[in-house]
Structure 1
């Protein structure tokens, strides 16, 4: 699944200078974090965001050289500014492991609005979800001016997971 999540960012960072700065939402235990680093993303270009205090502590232990902040994705813009991450410019991509599918539409709207506020023009929001349908409804995508494409499907994941890429229309 990690490789499917990184597919929209490829080739990162060696031949695609446009995708260098990444924010990860809902990092959990760090599976995607590790994949990003192994994929060649430089630590200073990655901001890891985790709301849960215990998982935040675990991430800080596992990745001592990374900037890991404890924050809510609904306040991403403020958290990214306060951390100093945005001083280096906007993010090129936001990768999300959040359970958008189970969240109310208002929470989804808030997270997506915050994510696109920290992205450069043309940047992308990459979301994995269990199942085949986009976790963001057509109505909300239309409201926010987003288009979506499925980037991958991880059949070997249990349960199978899809990767969706959202960009401004």
Structure 2
């Protein structure tokens, strides 16, 4: 998984951003794969987990906050750009509107062509294609060494967007000239 994240990173785009770091095993794998700790920002909601991450992963920037409110975190932490986003958020149980807002904010942090690498413990894409048709989902593979095994998905914005995404933070479907906008 760490190799997938590092391969998707846009050179010069900024640090790696990890959403939902938990106790940090994936973050540690990124470091072990060669990502310098000072080039990793993690967002974790739980205060105790943040303290654990700070102790275990010296040099990693740990931000406490709700990753679904990425726009607020971006402003507070003054994050200008990231090279790739890694998400361990349980997207299957997150309301589609909240998931779309989170992904929109994540894509706004990356240069064009950026990727969100999402892992899941299920067998299908954790992001609903009908709710976010602007995403190109690619199944990367399964990490069988993890218990339980995790599926790895890569998401990129398709070309069917108008200016990438709406300013409001909601997805914008491209419509034909003269057609009514999508709901």
TM tier, smaller:
0.7 to 0.9
Greater fraction of residues in strand: 1
Confirm whether residue 54 of structure 1 aligns to residue 48 of structure 2. yes
**Secondary structure of residue in 1 paired with 2:111:** strand
Distance 2:86 2:155 in 1: 10
For structure 2, list consecutive stretches of 5 or more residues without a partner in the other structure.
159-183
Specify the alignment match of 1:125 in structure 2.
Answer: 116
Whether 1:91 aligns to 2:85 is no
Structure with higher Rg: it is 2
| 1:163 counterpart (145, 148, 152) | 152
In terms of fraction of residues, the more helix-rich structure is: 1
Structure 1 outlier segments of 4+, above 4 Å: none
CA RMSD of aligned residues (A): 2.0
**5+ residue gaps, structure 1:** none
- Displacement of 1:18 after TM fit? 5.4
After TM superposition, the structure 1 stretch with the greater mean CA deviation from structure 2, 53-62 or 104-113, is 104-113
Count of residues in correspondence between the two structures: 158
Post-superposition offset of 1:20: 5.6
- Secondary structure of the 1:108 match is helix
TM-score by length of 2: 0.77
- TM-score for both structures, normalised by structure 1: 0.83
